[in-house]
Amino acid sequence: MVIIGVLAGTAIPVYIGMGPSIRLSGATRQIMGDLMWARMRAISENNDYVITFGSAGPDLSNNTYTIYDDNDGDFDSAGVETSELVKSVVIPDTYKQTGYGYVPGIKKTDNVTPLTGDPVTFSSGGVSKPIWFKFYPTGRSNISGTIYIITDKDLANNYKGRMRAISVLSFTGRIKIWHYDQAIVEWK
């Protein structure tokens, strides 16, 4: 009994300490998986799939993203059509205290340009639409951008070591996960 008590006494704090990393990795993998799924659906169905982030304005504070099957190809002009909604995700519902964000003073995933502005960097959107991009039937996206993700605790404490990013390249449609290496002060 003593041995079991000692093992539990050391294992439980370690597991609790790993919670933020586990949640952050899970959220990052879910977003990447959903983006890959939308890209594959665009290719297989031979039509556009649109991914939106947050709400109009743009407002990312609700930490959501939504996937639309743009069958009629009119998202650029008509915007969000509820009949085309495929999936809507609120990140903190599954991964508590995790969402869009980054610690100020870091660089973008290119490790050169300072990161400023929204933690979702696709430059589409505007006042009347949320931030968005789309995958074409070729698998390419209409625009490149990056989604930066962090835990609430790390954001409050300016801790950079667990931050994650997911980038989408427009020319190829490639989706890549990045992690911030605090020891060498760059994205890898």
Closest CA to 70 of 131, 19, 134: 134
Q: Where is pLDDT greater, at 159 or 127?
A: 159
Res. 17: pLDDT tops 90: no
Confidence band of 15 (pLDDT split at 50, 70, 90): low
How many Å apart are CA 171 and CA 142, to the nearest integer?
Answer: 8
Q: What pLDDT, on a 0 to 100 scale, did the predictor assign at position 56?
A: 76
41-45, 71-75, 142-146 — which is least confidently predicted? 71-75
Res. 108: pLDDT tops 80: yes
Residues 6 or more apart in contact with residue 10 via CB below 8 angstroms: none
